[in-house]
Amino acid sequence: MLRLALTLLVLGSLTLAAGGCSKSYSDRDVHWLTIDEARAAIADTGETWLREPKPNAWIDPRDPVFYRVGHIPGALNVQLSDPEVFSRLEGYGVLIVYGEGYESLVADALIKGLLTEGNKVVKGLKLGYEGWIAAGEPVEKGENEAKVTGGGDRDRWQRELIDDQ
């Protein structure tokens, strides 16, 4: 009887300890894809007769100035400094994040943040935007009307816009 009580106590303690720990993500959890692999992941809707497909998206966490100069067609420009960045991406399926170059640090940080927030399928574009251009892939320029960044009339540094009137 004492042995059973001790076993239950130990199991209960382990359960509480495991439940209180939050998962952290390391470089081993970040999966980098080639351009072809990323294109295939974006094209796969994951549609089954049991569930509705979610739209997949290219995610560009670079500064909005770089985004306007050029980005992968259809990419959403999001900023790590946006306090609602994770909630703004909740309705999407596969997310392919890219930065400026090879395994970009800003892309890596966003991928780990999205994984921590519960996004299941988040990958990175290994060669980034520079690799995309070097491969001769198409680009878009300017603002994306469907972008999910917040801020409205404020930029990422929280500066106020000046009205010239």
Res. 20: pLDDT tops 60: no
Q: For the segment 49-66, what is each residue's pLDDT rounded down to a tens digit?
A: 777 788 999 999 999 999
pLDDT band at 27 (very low <50, low <70, confident <90, very high): low
| Contact between 77 and 144 (Cβ < 8 Å) | yes
Predicted TM-score of the model (pTM): 0.71
pLDDT value for 164: 55
Please give the residue that has the higher pLDDT: either 25 or 66. Answer: 66
Res. 131: pLDDT tops 80: yes
- Average pLDDT of 27-43? 87
- Average pLDDT of 113-139? 91
What is the number of other CB atoms lying within 10 angstroms of the CB of residue 60? 30
Strand order in the sheet with 57-60: 32-33, 122-125, 95-97, 57-60, 76-77
pLDDT band at 160 (very low <50, low <70, confident <90, very high): very low
pLDDT value for 71: 96
The DSSP symbol for 44 reads -
Domains of the chain in start order, with CATH, are 25-134 (3.40.250.10)
